[in-house]
Chain A
């Protein structure tokens, strides 16, 4: 007695003409054949080394950026400030003015500065706010 299952012979024409089945129909449990994969025995070590290198790169880059930041900040903060020059810089002659007129304009500017400084409303030395009359212990006789 044979348990061998006899599979019916499948005709290609029948298959193609059969409208109730898909072309590449498979059973659910049936897994497709896979190619054999070569497993590297040093894969884990290489992976660890790769990640370590990546971490070193990131940390190194970060440290580099920090150092660069401090350097630039130091340069910006401790850079000697631009000292305003008090020497006379020749001002360009305004359009349409002769040198004499420019000189007069400068005089007028100077005059305006003096005039502002002489504003009588601006009292820079008011009389001191001291008590001149009632600073006594006993009322003085008149």
Chain B
């Protein structure tokens, strides 16, 4: 059919008709692509790595329940997710308050009027309150994370949770004090009050972070040792070829040595958390935490290597 030969139809209608047919052709060509993309998405889900829930569901067929009974090194509960959301909101409020405080303080220093003083006192009070809220929620998050992290010695964990609780209580007391600070002198007193314990908050925070990082790797180490024992049992039971059996035994002995080294490194890290023999209490800050993370990174790399070794033994 020739485009110009459409009988008794205006040009506009002709354009519309052609557009409709063109759309139809495009749609027919593109619709299968859409279906293909959807199908691929489904395939990815189906072929992916088994979910943890799935693995747990297979517990009945497990050779040994040791590994599955060990909790995940970094579990994320609903309570923790809620606290994180609260923390994000409070941090956002704090940032706004801090900006307002800076402006108010600058104006006061420039103008030196009573109105500017009143405004800056209120801004200081507000930002101090929002800072306390942020720190309080942060310590609550850490307390929950420490509580959920396996791999930390029970007594040390209890002591840590106690210290975090003390920190939270101290922040609450400070918050009440700031709420009552309505003039310049009371604000100054509140600032002094905060300065008496802010280093303790930093200390307990970095101590908790160090323990959490250590505890997670300790859990993975325990699991690795358990899986290694299972691999050994499987090799002894299944391997028929004597030559290959000897080879695998030697490989597992090498893994044993590597795991022993990893354990030593983990213990060395843990010892830095404890008071020294002279009774000197360790202090924790950003710098010491950096050192701890550096040492734990070595442990992490060793655990990864051990995992590769185990994979090699299993796949041989």
Contacts and interface: CB of A to CB of B under 8 A. Distances in A.
Interface stretch (B158-166, B227-235, B250-258, B275-283): B227-235
B24 A108 contact: no
A46 to B, nearest CB: 14
Given A125-B141, A137-B188, A101 B234 contact: yes
Interface residues of A, number: 61
A127 B202 contact: yes
A107 B223 CA distance: 9
Given A72-B31, A106-B50, A88 B58 contact: yes
Given A81-B38, A88-B57, A120-B213, A109 B50 contact: yes
Contact of A65 (B21, B34, B141): B21
Interface string B41-70: 110011001111111011001110001000
Contact of A127 (B38, B61, B205): B205
A136 B108 CA distance: 13
A37 interface: no
Contacts of B16: 62
A89 interface: yes
A16 interface: no
| Closest CB pairs A-B (n = 4) | A118-B216, A84-B45, A120-B296, A51-B7
Interface of B: 6-9, 13, 16-17, 20-21, 23-24, 27, 31, 34-35, 38, 41-42, 45-46, 49-55, 57-58, 61-63, 67, 72-74, 87, 91, 94, 98, 101, 105, 108, 120-121, 124, 127-128, 131, 134-135, 138, 141-142, 145, 184, 187-188, 191-192, 194-195, 198, 201-202, 205-206, 209, 213, 216-217, 219-220, 223-224, 227, 230-231, 234, 237-238, 286, 292-293, 296-297, 299-300, 303-304, 307, 310-311, 314-315
